[in-house]
Amino acid sequence: MTLQATRPAPPLMSERRVALLGAALVAIGPISMALFTPAMPEIVRAFGSTEAAAKMTLSLYFGGFALAQLVCGVLSDGFGRKPVTLVFLGIYIAASIAALVAPSIEVLIVARFIQGFGAAVGVAIARALVRDLFTHDRSARIMNLIGMILAVGPAFAPTLGGITMQFAGWHAIFMLMVVAGIALMLLVRFCMVETVVRDLSRIRPRALISSYRMLLTTPYFVLCSVILGTAVGTLYTQATVLPFILMDRVGLTPTEFGLAMLAQTGGYFIGSVVVRWLIGLIGALRLVPIGLFFISGGSVLLFTLLRVEPPNFFDVMGPVSLSAFGIAFMTPALTTAALAPFPRHAGAAASMNGFIQMGGGLLGGSVCAMIGEPVFALATVIPAMTTLAVIAWLVWRKLPEPAVVTTAGPNG
C-alpha cells in the first residue's frame, strides 16, 4: 500500500467555517465588479474613450471569469483546492496592480480580463468545498448562508466604490481590490483545510475530456446550469447598463448610484433570509418555482415600465430588486442539484456550472453592448433571459435525478 493511500484524511471543516470561507471566496468576484461600476462613466472621460470601451472593461471581466471557470475547478480536482486557490488569487492581485497603473483603456481592458480570470477561482472552489463535505438540504443550507453573507459585500461595494472614486479617484478603487486580494489569500492560507487528495490523473487530457463530456451529456446537469445561467446572469447583465442608466439618464452621482444598488443586493439578502426559514419547512427544490415567479414579475415590470415613460429610480430599481429577491430562492437548490451526482468530479462540475452562469452574464452584457441604448437593452435583454430560464425549468423539472457518479472514467 502506498504512503498516499495510508495518509490520514484531513480534518473536516464545520458548516460555519465552510460557509464563511465560501462566502469570502465567492464574494471577491462580484465585489470586484461592483466596486468598479460607479467609475465606468468617469473611465470614459479619463481616457477620452467611449461608453462601448468602458463596457468592455466589464464584459471582458466576465469573459475572463467565465473562461477560468473551465480550468480552476478541474485543476483543484488534481492539485488540491488550496494550492490552486492561492495561485489564482496571486493572478488576481497582479492584475489588480496592472489595472491600478494602466496608462490606457486598452491596458485596463486586458487587466480586467486577467483580473476576472483570477477572481473566478472563488466560485468554483467554494462550491467544490461544499460538495466535498455536504449534500442535499444540508448543502443547500450552506449555499443559502453563503448567499446571505455574500449579499452584504456586494451590497456595500458600489457605495464604497462611489465614495472612494469621489474623494480619491478611480485608481483608488483598484488599490482596494489589491488589499482585498491579499486579505483573502491570507484567509485561505491559514483557514482552509484541504478536502481532496492530490491526484494528477484527474487532470490528464483524456480524463478532463471524459469529465466534461459526461457533464455536457447529462441533460439534468446542463438544464440546471442553464436555469442558473439565465437567471443569475441577469444580475451580471444589469451591471453593464445600470451605471449608464442611473447616472447618465436618471442623474445620480457615483455615491448615490452606490446607495441605489443597495436595493438590488438588499432584495437578494432579504430573499436569502426568507429562504433559510423555508428550506426547513418545504425543502429547497420547491422554492425554485417561487423564485421564477418573482424574477418573471420583475422582468415584466422592466419590459413595460421602461417603455411607457423615461427611466426613474423606482421604475428601474423596483423591478431589479424584485428579480434579485427571486434569484435568492433558486440558487441554493439548483447549485446543489447540479453538483450532487458528481462527488468525484466536484471541481469539474462546479467549473462547468460556473462557466455557464458567467457565460449567461457575458452573453447578456454583450447583447446589451451591441444594442447600445441602455434603457432599451435593459427592458429587452433581461425579460428574454428570464423567459429562457422559465422554459429550461419547465423541461428540467420533468427529468429524473441521475444516479451518483462514483467512477473516475478513462485515465482518471
* DSSP output for 81-120: HHHHHHHHHHHHHHHHHHHHT--SHHHHHHHHHHHHHHHT
Average pLDDT over residues 351-380: 83
Neighbours of 47 (CB within 10 A): 17
Higher pLDDT, 220 or 342: 220
Name the residue ranges covered by the structural domains of the chain: 14-190+208-396
Q: Are 361 and 235 in contact (CB under 8 A)?
A: yes
Higher pLDDT, 226 or 201: 226
pLDDT of residue 10: 44
pLDDT of residue 345: 72
pLDDT category at 234 given cuts 50, 70, 90 is confident
Report which secondary-structure segment, H or E, holds 287.
none
- Of 150, 148, 175, 147, nearest to 161 (Cα)? 175
Class of CATH domain 14-190+208-396: mainly alpha
Q: Collect all residues with Cβ–Cβ distance below 8 Å to 153 and sequence separation of at least 6.
A: 23, 27, 30, 31
Q: Where are the beta strands (DSSP E) in 209-279?
A: none
| 227 alpha-carbon distance from chain centroid | 14
pLDDT of residue 296: 94
Kindly report which listed range (6-10, 24-28, 217-221) carries the lowest average pLDDT score: 6-10
Average pLDDT over residues 340-353: 76
Average pLDDT over residues 15-32: 82
> Tell me, what amino acid is at 359?
G
pLDDT of residue 295: 94
pLDDT of residue 325: 92
| 343, burial (CB in 10 Å: exposed 0-12, middle 13-18, buried 19+) | middle
pLDDT of 36-75, one tens digit each? 777 777 788 888 777 777 777 877 887 888 788 778 877 8
User: What gap in Å lies between CA 36 and CA 94, rounded to an integer?
Assistant: 17
User: What gap in Å lies between CA 315 and CA 93, rounded to an integer?
Assistant: 38
Neighbours of 401 (CB within 10 A): 11
pLDDT category at 85 given cuts 50, 70, 90 is very high
Higher pLDDT, 324 or 48: 324
Higher pLDDT, 227 or 43: 227
pLDDT of residue 17: 82
Total count of residues recorded for the chain = 412
CA-based angle 347:348:349, to the nearest 5?
A: 90
Is the entire prediction scored with pTM above 0.75? no
User: What gap in Å lies between CA 117 and CA 106, rounded to an integer?
Assistant: 17
Give the residue ranges of DSSP H helices in 134-261: 136-168, 171-191, 205-216, 219-243, 254-260
Q: Are 117 and 89 in contact (CB under 8 A)?
A: no
Q: Collect all residues with Cβ–Cβ distance below 8 Å to 13 and sequence separation of at least 6.
A: 21, 129, 133, 192, 193, 195
Kindly report which listed range (130-144, 206-220, 271-285) carries the lowest average pLDDT score: 130-144
Q: Are 59 and 366 in contact (CB under 8 A)?
A: yes
pLDDT of residue 407: 54
Share of the chain above pLDDT 90, in %: 20
User: What gap in Å lies between CA 346 and CA 333, rounded to an integer?
Assistant: 16
pLDDT of residue 335: 82
**305 grid coordinates:** 415600465
pLDDT of residue 2: 43
Average pLDDT over residues 292-297: 94
Q: Collect all residues with Cβ–Cβ distance below 8 Å to 230 and sequence separation of at least 6.
A: 360, 385, 386, 388, 389, 392
